[in-house]
């Protein structure tokens, strides 16, 4: 902030225009203003010192002062410097007339009140000019001693400065609170979007796997129909497709449960998959709980890899290895060379995006996936970092 900005910058308001004060604060403000008005009126008209035109002038001083203070307050709240300074100049004139006419309390209230309010609400340069004019008028017209005048003017200036600091501190506190609320709202929205993306990804993977498996069986049933196969064999394929649809629904429920932290051990899930696909499962290392995303990634990768074996290398020897390492977890699905004469008519079925989806899932978790030929067969290797390194 430059020096010019420091002198011309408006202070932070004590409350936005639309902010509603508490009821207790509103009541206190009304009581204090009423008490001050009663005291000024009582002092001004005590002793029957005003009659005729003098009485009308005294009433005019009080009414015009109240109106001008209201105008000054609205102008300063709206950061309109010219109307604020104009109303302040008129108020000083009224205070001088009131002091000359004997209404010393009214004049003192105008001078002191305007000085304090100017320091609190106006830019520093305009505030010092207005406060100096108000306190100088008070000092030159009062009959008090020099020490008393210095004490009053110094106290008024210090009070205004302290109120200005308090106002700016409360404004900064409100700004920080608003920023904190905005940050919390953005964080909650980001978390909701992340959760939606997770759920959408899991549901997509479940449906892709189950529909791909159903397509395998339905395509086999079609080929059997084309070749005039036995009715019972065709029925078995249709029943298998129906079972896959039921399994897909069950896996959808399981995925949602996993996202809620209700995931069963990964080794148990892989054992079920290996048993269904007639693969050999080996678990190395001490099993330990894994984050939901990591467990789902292992399960989905194993499902996709075993489905590819069923489609592209039916009848081949398949092994599944799960290793709990010190710095992470590793899954390997390997199949050997498919037997000669095996039925590979279903090799072209499916979307062809299985490997891409597995690799994207691994990268989201900070891991990597390797897939490629291996001694006449195929090998899929998934590595995920340790539990503490998994991204949130």
Beta bridge partner(s), residue 379: 334, 372
Q: Strands of the chain (E only): list them.
A: 280-284, 318-325, 328-335, 368-374, 377-385
What is the DSSP track for 126-182? HHHHHHHHHHHHHHHH--S-HHHHHHHHHHHHHHHHHHHHHHHHHHHHHHHHHHHHH
pLDDT digits (tens, 9 = 90+) for 178-224: 888 888 888 888 877 776 776 676 677 667 667 777 777 788 888 88
The per-residue pLDDT for 209 is: 66
The per-residue pLDDT for 219 is: 82
Q: What are phi and psi of 330, to 5 degrees?
A: -135, 135
Largest alpha-carbon pair distance within the chain? 126
Q: How far is CA 98 from CA 62, 92, 307, 309, 314, in A?
A: 9, 10, 98, 102, 107
Q: Strands of 295-367 (E only): list them.
A: 318-325, 328-335
Does the model's pTM come out above 0.75?
no
Per-residue burial over 38-49, b if 16 or more Cβ lie within 10 Å, else e, is eebeebbeeeee
Could you tell me how many residues make up the chain?
392
pLDDT digits (tens, 9 = 90+) for 6-56: 777 777 654 444 444 567 777 887 787 788 778 877 777 776 666 677 788
Beta bridge partner(s), residue 332: 321, 381
**H/E run at residue 314:** none
pLDDT digits (tens, 9 = 90+) for 315-353: 889 999 999 998 889 999 999 888 775 554 444 444 444
Cα–Cα distance, 258 to 99 (Å, whole number): 82
Strands 328-335 and 280-284: unpaired
């Amino acid at each position: 902030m430059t020096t010019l900005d420091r002198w011309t910058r408006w202070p932070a308001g004590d409350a936005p225009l639309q902010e509603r004060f508490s009821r207790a604060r509103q009541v206190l403000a009304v009581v204090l203003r009423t008490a001050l008005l009663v005291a000024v009126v009582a002092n001004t008209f005590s002793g029957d010192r005003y009659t005729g035109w003098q009485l009308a002038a005294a009433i005019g001083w009080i009414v015009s002062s109240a109106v001008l203070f209201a105008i000054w307050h609205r102008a300063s709240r709206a950061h309109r410097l010219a109307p604020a300074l104009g109303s302040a100049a008129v108020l000083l004139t009224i205070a001088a007339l009131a002091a000359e006419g004997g209404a010393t309390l009214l004049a003192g209230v105008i001078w002191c009140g305007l000085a304090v309010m100017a320091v609190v609400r106006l830019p520093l340069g305009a505030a010092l000019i207005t406060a100096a004019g108000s306190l100088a008028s008070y000092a030159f017209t009062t009959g008090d001693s020099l020490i008393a005048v210095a004490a009053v003017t110094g106290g008024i200036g210090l009070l205004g400065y302290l109120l200005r600091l308090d106002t700016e501190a409360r404004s900064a506190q409100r700004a920080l609170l608003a920023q904190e609320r905005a940050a919390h709202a953005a964080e909650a929205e980001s978390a909701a979007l992340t959760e939606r993306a997770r759920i959408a990804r899991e549901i997509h993977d479940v449906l892709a796997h189950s529909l791909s498996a159903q397509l395998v069986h339905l395509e086999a049933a079609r080929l059997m129909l084309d070749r005039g196969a036995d009715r019972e064999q065709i029925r078995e394929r249709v029943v298998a497709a129906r079972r896959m649809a039921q399994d897909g629904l069950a896996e959808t429920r399981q995925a949602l449960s996993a996202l809620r932290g209700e995931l069963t051990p990964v080794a148990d899930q892989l054992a079920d998959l290996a048993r269904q696909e007639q693969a050999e499962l080996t678990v190395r290392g001490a099993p330990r709980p894994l984050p939901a995303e990591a467990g789902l990634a292992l399960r989905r990768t194993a499902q996709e890899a075993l489905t590819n074996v069923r489609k592209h290398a039916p009848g081949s020897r398949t092994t599944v290895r799960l290793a709990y390492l010190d710095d992470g977890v590793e899954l390997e699905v390997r199949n050997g060379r498919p037997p000669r004469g095996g039925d590979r008519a279903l090799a072209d079925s499916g979307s062809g995006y299985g490997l891409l989806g597995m690799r994207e899932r691994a990268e989201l978790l900070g891991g990597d996936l390797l897939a490629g030929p291996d001694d006449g067969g195929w090998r899929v290797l998934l590595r995920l970092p340790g539990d503490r390194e998994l991204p949130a």
